[in-house]
């Protein structure tokens, strides 16, 4: 007689494989748009892409390096992979302007690591461990930590500099 635990694990494995296959299909039909104006909305992106594709959903990518909610990038899911490739080619070949702003956006095909809700690949396992001074990985992690702090300080300096020089205000006036 079969073990009920083995049967349950098999069912969960099949579910995880199907979930990850659905996610991979979603990634293939999604594009990443960067250099968006801070005033661009979901409706503006839908309208801009309606000339070349049918937009299924728009998710703004959160920028965790700054304390302000300024959307600068979005993941846009389209109907199929061919529409995604066509949209990326269009934005690569022509200066594609979204929202009437005089700044062309960049587009690329999405990658799995861009999605905050990505499932774990079937069969993968996460391990966590505490590092102490003297561990071989400790120096590398210390370097990454100081690099992240430096990048955060540079981002804040840029944001404060832009606000002082009216860059954000001029972007809002452009739309009005």
Q: What's the half-sphere exposure (Cβ side, CA atoms, 13 Å) at 173?
A: 5
- Over range 71-85, report the average pLDDT: 92
Q: Mean pLDDT for the chain? A: 80
Contacts of 142 (CB under 8 A, 6+ apart): none
Sign of the CA dihedral running 23, 28, 30, 35: positive
Which range among 62-66, 139-143, 147-151 shows the weakest confidence by mean pLDDT? 62-66
- Over range 110-118, report the average pLDDT: 92
Q: Are strands 73-78 and 30-34 parallel, antiparallel or unpaired?
A: antiparallel
Q: What is the pLDDT of residues 126-138, one digit of tens each?
A: 787 787 888 888 8
Q: What is the pLDDT of residues 2-23, one digit of tens each?
A: 554 444 445 557 888 999 999 9
Quickly tell me which residue has 């069912």 as its tokens.
11
What is this structure's pTM? 0.67
């Amino acid at each position: 007689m079969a073990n009920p635990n083995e049967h349950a694990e098999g069912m969960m494995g099949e579910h995880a494989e199907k979930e990850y296959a659905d996610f991979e299909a979603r990634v293939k039909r999604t594009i990443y748009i960067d250099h968006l104006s801070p005033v661009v909305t979901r409706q503006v992106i839908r309208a801009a892409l309606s000339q070349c594709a049918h937009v299924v959903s728009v998710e703004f990518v959160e920028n965790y390096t700054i304390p302000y909610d300024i959307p600068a990038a979005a993941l846009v899911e389209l109907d199929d992979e061919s529409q995604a490739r066509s949209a990326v080619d269009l934005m690569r070949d022509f200066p594609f302007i979204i929202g009437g702003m005089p700044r062309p956006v960049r587009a690329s095909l999405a990658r799995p690591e861009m999605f905050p809700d990505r499932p774990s690949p079937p069969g993968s396992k996460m391990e966590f461990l505490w590092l102490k001074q003297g561990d071989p990985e400790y120096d590398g992690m210390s370097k990454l930590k100081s690099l992240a702090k430096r990048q955060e300080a540079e981002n804040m300096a840029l944001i404060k500099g832009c606000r002082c020089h009216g860059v954000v205000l001029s972007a809002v006036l452009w739309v009005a």
